[in-house]
Structure 1
Amino acid sequence: MSVITELMDKAKARHNLPSDYALSKKLNLKHATLSRWRLNKSIPSWEAVFLLVDLADEDDQNVVYRVLEEKEENARLIKTLVAGARPSP
C-alpha cells in the first residue's frame, strides 16, 4: 500500500468518510483525482499531501520522508534524507 493510499484511508477513518468520493468533497478536489492517486497513476502535489496529512493527523516530516522514499529513485538523495544532517548556516 502506498503512503498516499494510507493517508487517504486514515483521513477517511478519522473523519468518518464512507468513500473516496466523500474525501474528494472534503478536499475540494475531483473524485477522479483521488482515483488516480489510489491507482498510483498520478502523484498529488505537496499542497494536497499536506491536506491529507492534516486530515489524517499525521506528522509532516514523517510523511515527507516516506513519500520521497517511495517516489524518488535517486539513491544519493535517499541516503542524504535518511542521514538527516543539515550543514550549519
Structure 2
Amino acid sequence: MTAPALTLTDLTRILRESAGEDESVNLDGDILDTPFAELGYDSLALLEAASRIEREVGIRLSEDALGDAETPRLFLNLVNEPITSTT
C-alpha cells in the first residue's frame, strides 16, 4: 500500500509545526511558486520539514534534492515523485 500524495495543505501544516510562520506571510494563499525564502523559511526549516515528512510519510529526501526544491511546488514534486511512480 502506498502513502497518499502530500498536499500543499499538508506541507503548510508541517512547515508551521516545525518552523512556525512569519505573520506577514499568508501560507493559505497561492504560494505554490513562491520561493521559500520569501515565505520566511530557510534551509534549516526545510530540513526539519523533510525530517517530519520522513516520519509521517516514509519518504527520505536527500539534502542535495532539498536544495533544488526552492518553492512549495518543487518540494511537493520531490516528495510525491516516489509515491506517484509506484502507482
TM-score bucket (shorter structure): 0.3 to 0.5
Which of the pair has more CA radius of gyration? 1
Higher RCO (CA < 8 A, seq sep 6+) = 2
Structure with more of its chain in helix, by fraction: 1
TM-score (norm 1): 0.37
TM-score (norm 2): 0.37
